[in-house]
Amino acid sequence: MTAFILIFFTGWLVSFLGQLPLGTMSITSTHIAVKEGFSNAWKYAVGVALIEIVYLRTVLSGVDLIMQHKFFFTLLGWLTVVFFLGFGVYSFITALKHQGEKKSPILNNKINRFWLGITMSALNPAQIPFWFIWSSYLIHLHVLHSNTFEFNVFTIGCGTGTISGLAFYMYGGNWVVTKFNTSNKTLDIVMGIIFILAAAIQLYRMVWGTFV
């Protein structure tokens, strides 16, 4: 039972801390919470976590499986560059036009927020090297062992950690926006900066870096 708790908590902690640096997923969760309420923000968080669980379980199943689908992840990588860059530029354009209470471009649609979370998380193959490094490190330290039970417990812990990290941005971000009466223009500018930086980082990975 102690080993079960340790593995679960380790997965939760790694994933939670991984969500804390400001990024596209976290800032979007804040934006949804502020503009649409916590119900939609939770749907989004669950969608994000679900895909992260799939990526993590793929990594734990072995790097060979990842390499067999390298073209798929390469395609996702380039789509991520286009997707993030497009939304970043559009966010700046929206901010410059002073469009009042109009929603951010990424939210100005009728897509169910659960599916939005799934889409944005799927277009983030950078999760693969992150989880490959951490899972290898934990296995090397004998904190995590190569068996199905421990992999499943670790994966559940990581999924919970992802949702916890996004919840931190949902509630904490909503508090900051409300406390300081942050305008839509400011939120759009922040969204634009984050998405363009994410696009630049992903472009660097595609041109000079590797997925694994």
For residue 93, is it within any domain? no
For residue 168, is it within any domain? yes
- Unique residue bearing structure tokens 């559940």: 156
For residue 45, is it within any domain? yes
Distances (CA, A) of 30 to 27, 66, 160, 172, 174: 5, 32, 18, 8, 6
- Unique residue bearing structure tokens 């593995």: 7
For residue 8, is it within any domain? yes
Number of domains in the chain: 1
Domain with 120, as residue range(s), is 2-81+113-183
pLDDT tens track for 99-150: 555 566 677 778 899 999 999 898 877 787 788 778 877 887 788 888 888 8
Q: What is the model's pTM?
A: 0.76
For residue 149, is it within any domain? yes
